[in-house]
Amino acid sequence: MAILTVSRQVASLGDEICQAVSEKIGYKFITRRDIERRIIEMGFPEEKFRTFDEKKTNFFASLSKSRDEYLDYLQTAILEAAQEDCVLIGRGANIVLKDLANHISLKFICDKKIRTERLMSEHGWTEKDALRRIHESDENRSWFLKNFFNVSQNDDTIYHAVLNTGLFDINTVVECVSSIIKNSITTEAEALGKEKARELLTSQKVVNTLILKNKLNILFLKAERTGENTIILHGVCEEPDSVEKAIKILESDGEFTAYKFKSAISVSKERRIH
């Protein structure tokens, strides 16, 4: 099993290449729309979704509770998809899955002139319209990666390879990508990646149970699995009771009966002034 994640500039033929690669190697192609439907299906309101979905928004929205909820839903949808062979495109999937041994991350780029010509040809736009779309898309992607994952869009070290789709035709890129997957993912890497994907999904479900389902007020909550059956909770809260309540909720949840839970949650002594 291998997971391919792809980041792409608008009009770099990323979607077309991903579709062709998935068909060639027999992987499921998870599109942006598939992730969108799953996030909304899990319970994130569609009207809020439009605020955060790879779109640059205002400063206060980026600090809101809804923003954190969106990220929890997004990571869940990505981790669910990663339980099987798939090609995932966009939405910071390469950051969420970076620790998987069977993960390959690619970025598709292209010269702005070629991207402009492609958009003009595809949509019948003027050059000005095409350039505006490119600028808007690049700005949104940069904001999204920085504010949700604290990485720079220009940091190419977070990818296994960067391919210029203005220099190769689709068939050549598809052959290249297929070869990278075939020659890079060993049987051992597959096993390790599969186990890690399950582990990360379980940890995310723990967070979702406490934050999304039970509405506990624990900031920056993370669940870290250590050993075979121990999960440590990290975060910050104001009330000691929140920590005790979190452990009780998880211990009584049938989905987590195989695990023991410990808390490393910090209890803040500061009180809010109303």
Q: What is the pLDDT of residues 100-138, one digit of tens each?
A: 999 999 999 999 999 999 999 999 999 999 999 999 999
The 3-state DSSP class for residue 99 equals: coil
Q: Can you list the residues of the chain whose pLDDT is less than 70?
A: 52-64, 269-274
Type of residue at 180 = I
pLDDT score at 90: 86
pLDDT score at 48: 81
Specify the DSSP class assigned to residue 63.
T
Q: What is the pTM of this model?
A: 0.90
Enter the tokens of residue 90.
């966009």
Cα 100 to Cα 50: distance, rounded to the nearest angstrom: 29
CA 36 to chain centre: 12
